[in-house]
A = this chain, B = another copy of it.
Amino acid sequence: MALTIGELGKATDTKVETIRYYERIGLLPKPPRTGGNYRAYGAAELGRLSFIRRARDLGFPLDQVRALLSLSDDRGRDCATVDALARDHLSEVERKIADLTALRRELSALIESCCGGTVADCRIIEALAPHTNG
């Protein structure tokens, strides 16, 4: 079983350029090549790339994906480190949700205040530039 880069891409829903990018930054190993210098992937690479994509879908940044990968290779190790990584990431996500929720409230209030006149008395513009424009 040997996959071309395009086949690997289809199997993992990843663009070819992204796979080459992962190889360039050392997230994927350099695979063997065919006579025509094409990359030839096997099951191991398919598994590794699937792992990467799942972690990315869960929003882990690439350096955390890298850490998770090396942890997953070290199967005898205490999984507390993995747990800590996931918890860190969860709290990042929660922080972002809180920020965006505050933002939503502010934006809603801004939009509510718009009563449809001209820009000269637009509350949105006014709220953005409270000390100037006059």
When the two chains form their complex, are residues A124 and B76 in contact, meaning their CB atoms are under 8 A apart?
no
Please encode chain A, from 84 to 97, with 1 for each CB lying within 8 Å of some chain B CB and 0 for all others: 00110110011011
Q: What does the 1/0 interface line of A63-91 toward B look like (CB < 8 Å)? A: 00000100110111111101100110110
Chain A: number of interface residues, binned into ranges: 35 or more
Chain copies in the assembled complex: 2
- Contact between chains at A79 and B128 (CB < 8 Å): no
The A interface is mostly helix, strand or loop, or mixed, namely: helix
- Do the beta carbons of A75 and B118 come within 8 Å of each other? yes
Chain B residues positioned under 8 Å from A75 (CB to CB): 118-120
Contact of A132 (CB < 8 Å), options: B46, B118, B129, B132? B46
Interface assignment of A16: CB less than 8 Å from any CB of chain B: no
With the chains together, A99 CA to B122 CA distance in Å?
A: 32
Residue A62 CB within 8 A of the other chain: no
